[in-house]
Amino acid sequence: MSSWGRVRLGWGPSLVVALLWLGSSGAFAYLAGQERIPRQVLAHVLPESMPSSLVYLTFPWIVVVPLLSTVAVFLVHLLLAGLVDRDASGPRPTRFLALWFVAVVTGVLATAPFALSAIITAFPPSRAAFILDPAGSLILQSGYWGLLLGWIPALLGVRRAAPESVAVASRRRLPVLAGVVVLALGLSTLTLGAGARAARVASAEASAVAEGETLGAVPDPDVESTPPPTIAPDADPDDIDPTWCTPEQATPLLGETDAATGHRVLTIEVMNFSDTPCVLDGYPDLAFADADGSAIDVTVTHGGSFMAEDPGAMPITVPAQGYGVTRIGWNAMATDGELATYTLYSALYPGLERGSWPITLDIVAGGEVFVTAWAVSDVYQNSP
């Protein structure tokens, strides 16, 4: 038998610790899901070694994360037990208490990846003093787990002393084992982060489908939303003529979309709801946002398209109660894996505050749209 196999204080109790770690977590998640026992009561009887929220991880992370955490527990206990139990000839009660404490410390250290993940998820805190709060309950749970169940491997560890030659050989391997422990905890942290991100992405995709947002890619749930500026950033106030229509006189209205093979067009009208005419000159201001409300970088070109002719920029007078019109044209864009448009922003001209409409369009980042200049609407021209 190899020296590793003879180190009874390592493999046996450490394996029991690992099984208790995985078993108590799985039993807690199962019983909590049955909702027959209140979670508060269950947590005192069967400690939650690993967060029960792991059940929301997607495959393969729902398997990889708990197993890797269990391996880390095994290695941590193997290392700490070897450090504590150097004098195998000491009094059994002292060794028993020391090994019991090892189980408590093992649980706390094995919880480090979950605690770090909780801190990162809740970052930034409302106050700097609260930065460690998300990890507090996890550490307490793991410590309680060690207090409640750690006596079992401790009892196994004091049943028989290992030969001195074996103890010396095992101590020589402790530096190597320490490096393996650090590696295991690091891998546990990385896989937990990857699994948690996969779960957030899956949840975002499910929410998008439930809300009918099935066109294009789902926005990254870990990227903060950055809406388009409320006013065109390159607008020059000196370019605004005082005779132009203002929001107090006129408002843009979203019209209908039309399509031909491979081509699209969207109409925007402006209604002058005041009692006096006002002037529009040039092109409207446009911006686009994805399903998360983040701005999409779309090139807006002044001019006509396949389905919309541009009359050119010129001053037009929108009569009282009359309408002006502009059209947005574009070629059909591939949306697979791309962020599509779910909100259209518009202002009568650059420099005014943009309004918005929820609308689903196959306009994606990097695409180009063409917009025609304001013209008097046929609605007014054809009226009696």
Tell me which CATH code domain 237-381 carries.
Answer: 2.60.40
User: In tens digits, what is the pLDDT along the chain, a chain of 384 residues?
Assistant: 444 444 444 588 999 999 999 999 999 988 988 888 888 888 888 888 898 888 888 899 999 999 999 999 999 998 888 887 655 566 888 889 999 999 999 999 999 999 888 888 778 777 777 778 878 788 888 889 999 999 999 998 887 555 443 444 455 677 888 888 889 989 998 998 899 899 999 999 999 999 889 999 999 998 889 999 999 998 888 888 888 999 999 999 999 899 888 999 999 999 999 999 999 999 999 999 999 999 999 999 999 999 999 999 999 999 999 999 999 999 999 999 999 999 999 999 999 999 999 999 999 999 999 999 999 987 544 444
The encoded tokens of residue 252 equal 């843009």
Residue 265: phi and psi, rounded to 5, are -150, 140
Side-chain-side CA neighbours of 336 within 13 Å: the count stands at 0
Q: What is the pTM of this model?
A: 0.74
Quote the CA–CA distance of 249 and 278 in Å, as a whole number.
8
Quote the CA–CA distance of 43 and 221 in Å, as a whole number.
31
Q: SS3 letters for 289-311?
A: ECCCCCEECCEEEECCECCECCC
Q: Domain locations in the chain? A: 3-210, 237-381
- Pair 359, 344: CB distance under 8 Å: yes
- Pair 339, 217: CB distance under 8 Å: yes
Q: Is 36 exposed, middle or buried (0-12, 13-18, 19+ CB in 10 A)?
A: exposed
Of 303, 280, 313, the residue nearest 380 (C-alpha): 280
Quote the CA–CA distance of 360 and 211 in Å, as a whole number.
12
